[in-house]
Amino acid sequence: MRCLAVVLLCAVAVGASPQDELAKIFRLRPRDEPQAVARADDRVARRILQPASDTQEAEALQEAEALREREEEEEAAAEANMKWTVVVSVLALAATFIIGFILESNHVHWFPEAAVGVLIGFACARTARLYGNEYMLESETFNYEFFMLFLLPPIIFEAGFNMNVSAFFKNVGPTMFFAFVGTFASTFVVGGIVYVAGIYGFCYPLGLLAALTFGALISATDPVTVLAVFQALGVKVDLFSMVFGESVLNDAVAIVLSRTLLGFIHTDVSS
């Protein structure tokens, strides 16, 4: 730049045009001066902005690296939470079986295995909430479709397979009456009580269809404790078969009632 300034001063001193001298220096004709100036400005601009571009690129690389590290840390934390969830679930299931077996061996029939599972599940959920393990709380929630498709059918099959067929068909009349009419009536009685209690503030207020759905689900009782007591006391086969057969059939009735009521909730009824 200093050399260029000296040349321009000499040109002015001798009376030459600075534009002609610039044209000679850049070997351009006078009509090409705007393009030459534009290209020179571009070169200067690139030289000026090049360090800034390098700096921005370096900052972008640093941000990408930091983001990648955070994602790796989150993935590692999620994987650790998943492993702990599996471990706690297996331990809870094993504890339920062991404690239930101990209670049954000691003839503690007033505290069934199902109650043990409920208490252990409550303790696991409370511990996960205290330690802030949100993954365990989200993944261990009740899945309605999984229960209906994978858990309930084997239970019903096992109950029907081990049923005393001759005693069941001998008392099929009372068994069907209790299973169908009794479960249907219990649905409306329990649902009505819950609906009225919610209106008067005795419990959480539910709509009529929601209360009836709750009544259908809660009416499908599984009298495990009663059957265990019957078996221990050696009651008559007829009484045992009626209670056992009703407990098997009311599951199917409750499923049909609950799905029907849920269909009314999600489907608009035309006038």
**DSSP per-residue string spanning 172-212:** HHHHHIIIIIIHHHHHHHHHHHHHHHHHTTSS----HHHHH
Give the model's pLDDT for residue 191.
92
Cα dihedral sign for 30, 31, 32, 36? positive
pLDDT at 166 (0 to 100): 85
The residue assigned the tokens 């078969």 is 241
Please tell me the predicted confidence (pLDDT) of residue 197: 93
- Average of per-residue pLDDT across 24-35: 46
Residue whose entry in the numeric block shows the structure tokens 């498709």: 149
- CA distance readout (Å), 206 to 192, 196, 198, 202, 213: 10, 9, 6, 11, 10
195 pLDDT more than 90? yes
Top-ranked range on mean pLDDT: pick from 46-55, 135-144, 195-204: 195-204
Q: Name the least confident of 83-97, 151-165, 241-255.
A: 151-165
Q: Report CA 251 to chain centroid distance, whole Å.
A: 27
What percent of the chain shows pLDDT beyond 70?
A: 73
Between residues 268 and 110, which one has the greater pLDDT?
A: 110
For the whole model, what pTM was predicted? 0.49
Contact 177, 245 (CB under 8 A): no
C-alpha of 230 from chain center: 41
Mean pLDDT of 46-59: 59
Q: If you count them, how many residues does the chain have?
A: 271
Instruction: Please state, rounded to an integer, the average pLDDT across all residues of the chain.
Output: 75
225: pLDDT confidence band, cut at 50, 70 and 90? low
* 133 three-class SS: coil
Instruction: Give Rg (Cα) of the chain.
Output: 41
Confidence of residue 224 (pLDDT cuts 50, 70, 90): low
